[in-house]
Amino acid sequence: MIEAIQEIARLAGAEILDVYGTDFDVESKDDDSPLTEADRRANDVIVAELQRRFPKIPVISEETKATEYSERKDWKRFWLVDPLDGTKEFVKRNGEFTVNIGLIEDGAPVLGVVYQPVGDRLYWGSRDEGAWRSVEGGEPSPLAGGQHYSEKAEVTVVASRSHRGEAVDQFVADLESAGKTVRFLSAGSSLKLCLVAEGGADVYPRLGPTMEWDTGAAHAIALAAGRRVLQYESREALRYNKENLLNPYFVVE
């Protein structure tokens, strides 16, 4: 299954790159977030391929009208898709955007593929096969969770390139008040979760709004790498297929 999802992610990535090199138009959705032809084309490919290869598993995608909760609340298993995560980064042409396809079972992510078309960087993980990364089609390398940031004297914090905010600045200030030396990284899209999964960062506090499709695939990879994705206040695991698909604030550690 995971090889099929990798193939689908690469197909979507090819559609995105086909638009990336053009003088594309940018529209605004109802929430004022940007939308491009690349979002639509990637979504069309992913949804069609998932329905063709896995016809019994329903799909929730950012760019497809959401199924009513009265119908999906009983779904035990479904695909969660963000066909182009980081559209703002796509528009800025900085390369920090991804294709995200995750499999959710009983409210928890169990398999995920995150593909960064620029640089041909592929992340994947599942609870059965662990977490992996491949760059430019090279040999896969395993990802493994490292020491928890609370136990380190030097902590690398990663946060959004487009959505940082005062709450994250306070999170960093609290670490420094605890005597830690803090190094700060900025990154776009689901790459922030992947950075923690691969050990490039120690912690990712997301103290701003995200949707379930923004996190599902990379959450699965982080879990497979031995990391945790916890609600910021309750410290409970982030859950999926809620009536409201908006995530609570969370931290990846």
Of 216, 133, 201, the closest CA to residue 168 belongs to: 201
SS3 assignment, position 154: strand
Q: How far apart are CA 62 and CA 84, in angstroms?
A: 9
Q: How far apart are CA 33 and CA 16, in angstroms?
A: 17
Q: How many residues does the structure list for the chain?
A: 253
Q: How far apart are CA 70 and CA 59, in angstroms?
A: 15
With pLDDT > 90 as the criterion, what percentage of the chain qualifies? 87
**CA-CA-CA-CA torsion sign (115, 116, 119, 125):** negative
Q: How far apart are CA 79 and CA 198, in angstroms?
A: 24
- Render pLDDT for 1-44 as a digit per residue (tens, 0 to 9): 999 999 999 999 999 999 999 999 999 887 778 889 999 999 99
Interhelix angle for 2-20 vs 37-53, to 10°? 160
pTM of the complete model beyond 0.75? yes
Here the contacts of 37-41 (C-beta below 8 Å, separation 24 or greater) are 38/84, 38/87, 38/90, 39/63, 39/83, 39/84, 39/87, 41/12, 41/15, 41/16
Fold agreement (2-143, 149-252): no
- pLDDT range class, residue 161, cuts 50, 70, 90: low
Task: Kindly tell me the burial class for residue 215, based on how many C-beta atoms sit within 10 Å of its own C-beta (0-12, 13-18, 19 or more).
Answer: buried
- Render pLDDT for 199-246 as a digit per residue (tens, 0 to 9): 999 999 999 999 999 999 999 999 999 999 999 999 999 999 999 999
CATH number for domain 2-143, candidates 1.10.760.10, 3.40.50.10150, 3.30.540.10, 3.40.50.970: 3.30.540.10
Of 58, 49, 50, 106, the closest CA to residue 78 belongs to: 58
Q: How far apart are CA 65 and CA 23, in angstroms?
A: 27
Cβ atoms 157, 201 nearer than 8 A: yes
The per-residue pLDDT for 145 is 73
CATH number for the domain whose boundaries are 149-252 = 3.40.190.80
pLDDT above 70: residue 82: yes
Of 57, 139, 136, the closest CA to residue 101 belongs to: 57
Of 83, 73, 80, 92, the closest CA to residue 8 belongs to: 83
pLDDT above 70: residue 71: yes
b/e map 191-210, b = 16+ CB within 10 Å: bbbbbbbbeebbbbbbbeeb
Cβ atoms 181, 209 nearer than 8 A: no
Domain coordinates of the chain in residue numbers? 2-143, 149-252
Distances (CA, A) of 115 to 131, 145, 164: 14, 20, 23
pLDDT above 70: residue 162: no
